[in-house]
Structure 1
Amino acid sequence: MKFSCTFETSSERIRLVNVISPLLKAGYKLISQRQEPSENGGNIIHVVASSQGDKTQADLIDDISGIEGCTLFNLEIEEDTVSSPSAPVKKALDEKSVLAAIGAQYPDITGVVRQYEASMTSDNQATALHELGRKVGGGIYQRDYALGSPLKMSTAISRELVPALKAFSRVKAKGNSITLVKCPFCQSSGTTHSGCHFVVGYIEGFLTSNPAVGRVSVEETSCGAGSTNVCEFIIW
């Protein structure tokens, strides 16, 4: 399995060697690597590598997610074929593998979600991330809040949803409005905000799992992708 990936590091001190060393230790063969400064004070690191042995996509997710201080914003996997072994194909990661990785690493899941997003074509990103978010949000409600007495929506937002979202970001809430300050899911998205579809799904899944709330709809009213990283959502 050959793949190419691009990371942005959280500071200038995290350099190329901090990325390629874990990959080498995990058994990957490096083909090429390149580093350049990012606009945010860190580094952009491009790596092309191939797996050796019987590494799977799930293994790749785990190995890349274990690289500290980096956000992955592009991943392309080359399909292994006999007739055209060098033809690169953007291959969507398996949702079950992604959910397993999220379960193992929660709440440190930003990198996994970004990898899942990067593995898909733009046509599929919004729907897939929304569905992934619904499953994760619903699972977190069932794990952490279902044993208590179900709360009505306004109270559930302030007492349950806001603390749950604080695992990822600084959160502000006013009535049925939620704001993520420095939203990590669109931090490196340039002008696209498909990562926020994960947040929309997460909120819907979390609140819908509450029997006192039932069905809800969530809409992102403002996205800070490529600028402030301040994202606002309305719930009704």
Structure 2
Amino acid sequence: MKFSCALETSSERIRLVNVISPLIKAGYQLVSQKQEPSENGGNIIHVIARSLGSKTQEDLIDDLSSIEGCTLFNLEIEEEGGSSAAPAKKTLDEKSVLSAIGAYYPKIADIVSQYEDSLPIERRVTALQELGRKVGGGIYQRDYSLGSPLKMPTTITRELVPALKGLSKVKAKNNVIYLIKCPFCKSSDHTHSGCHFIVGYIEGFLASNPAIDVVQVEETNCGAGSTNICEFTIG
């Protein structure tokens, strides 16, 4: 079984040798390997290799996923004898994604995008919203939970907007948030599900404020391929 994959390391200190050594020990023969820096401060390790024993695809995914400090993506498998299997995607673990977000925040658009791409299409909206809720709630608790909680609409202008500025250029008018060139928004030929991370982020941020009643957030306009302005309405 021959395969190619890319792994992103959580730190610049995790380098090519830290990836290929566990693979060799696990019984894989390396064909080629390459290292390049990632936008998140770590490294991207590209590997082409083949298994020497009776490894299954599940074994391969487990072996790659167990490499410490690395996130697996873009795995393609070719069975020996020339038959090509469909690219195998592993759904990234939410816990490891949250750890990566904590390490690289606020430069997290690529991490969220990798998580989105690893998910089955039917799960993307709900999973991204849930991830966003946890991140938004965590940011409120970290940066804004001390002191007297602010009520609406003051919390939007004095807390939510500054928090979102770490992720994107942002404006607010009353209960509407505008993200200009939102980095989580896909191009016009996608389903725009990346924006659902922001929906969850805003909901989680506001839900963590004890002075705020239950809120619902809706993306009322996606700017992909047109205005480049994504609009979120807080209800």
TM normalised by structure 2 equals: 0.70
Asked if structure 1 preserves the Cα contact closer than 8 Å seen for 2:32 and 2:49, the reply is: no
Of 69, 90, 94, which aligns to 1:59? 69
Partner in structure 1 of residue 47 of structure 2: 49
- Structure 1 pair 190–213 and aligned structure 2 pair: CA distance change class (3 A): same
Structure 1 residue 233 corresponds to structure 2 residue 232: yes
- In the alignment, what sits opposite 1:165? 164
- The alpha-carbon distance between structure 1 residues 24 and 143, as it changes in their structure 2 partners (threshold 3 A), is same
2:186–2:193 Cα contact (<8 Å) kept: no
Q: Is the 8 A contact 1:2 1:48 kept in 2?
A: yes
Residues 179 and 231 in structure 2, CA contact (< 8 A), matched pair in contact too: yes
For 1:127 and 1:30, locate their aligned partners in 2 and report how far apart those are by CA, in whole Å: 39
Q: Helix, strand or coil: the match of 1:219? A: strand
Aligned to 1:3: 5
Deviations 1:58-94 (A, max 9, x none): 7333xx8xxxxxxxxxx4335899xx99553222100
Task: Please give the alpha-carbon distance, in whole angstroms, between the structure 2 residues aligned to 1:80 and 1:133.
Answer: 35
* CA displacement, residues 91-120 of structure 1 (integer Å, 9 cap, x when unaligned): 210000000100111111111001000111
Q: Which residue of 2 aligns with 1:19?
A: none
SS of match in other structure, 2:209: coil
| Distance apart, 1:171 and its partner CA | 0.5
1: distance between equivalents of 2:156 and 2:77? Answer: 43
Query: Which position in structure 2 is the counterpart of 1:152?
Result: 151
Aligned partners of 1:117, 1:23: CA distance in 2, in Å? Answer: 25
Letter in 1 for 2:70: L
1:196 deviation in Å? 0.3
Moved more, 142-151 or 24-33: 24-33
Q: TM-score, normalised by structure 1?
A: 0.70
Q: 1:86 to 1:176 in 2, by over 3 A?
A: same
Identity %: 58
Q: Which has the larger radius of gyration?
A: 2
1:77 alignment partner in structure 2:
75
Distance 2:19 2:111 in 1: 20
Partner deviation per Cα, 1:6-42 (whole Å, 9 max, x = no partner): xxxxxxxxxxxxxxxx975764667699xxxxxxxxx
SS of 1:135's equivalent?
helix
Aligned residues: 193
Contact 2:220/2:232 (<8 A) preserved: yes
Give the residue type in structure 2 aligned to 1:135.
K
For structure 1, which runs of at least 5 residues remain unmatched after alignment? 6-21, 34-46, 65-74
Tell me the secondary structure at the aligned position of residue 153 of structure 2.
helix
Distance between the aligned counterparts of 2:217 and 2:111, measured in 1?
A: 23
Q: State the distance in 1 between where 2:147 and 2:110 align.
A: 31
The one-character-per-residue Cα deviations of 1:143-201 (angstroms, maximum 9, x if unpaired) are 10011211112000000000000001110100000000010001556432100000000
Write the mapping of 1:130-149 to structure 2, written as runs, cut at 5 A: 130-149=129-148
Unaligned 5+ segments in structure 2 are 8-13, 21-29, 35-44, 51-59
The letter of the residue matching 1:203 is: I
Which stretches of structure 1, 4 residues or longer, exceed 4 Å deviation after superposition? 22-26, 28-33, 50-55, 78-81, 84-87
SS in 2 for 1:134: helix
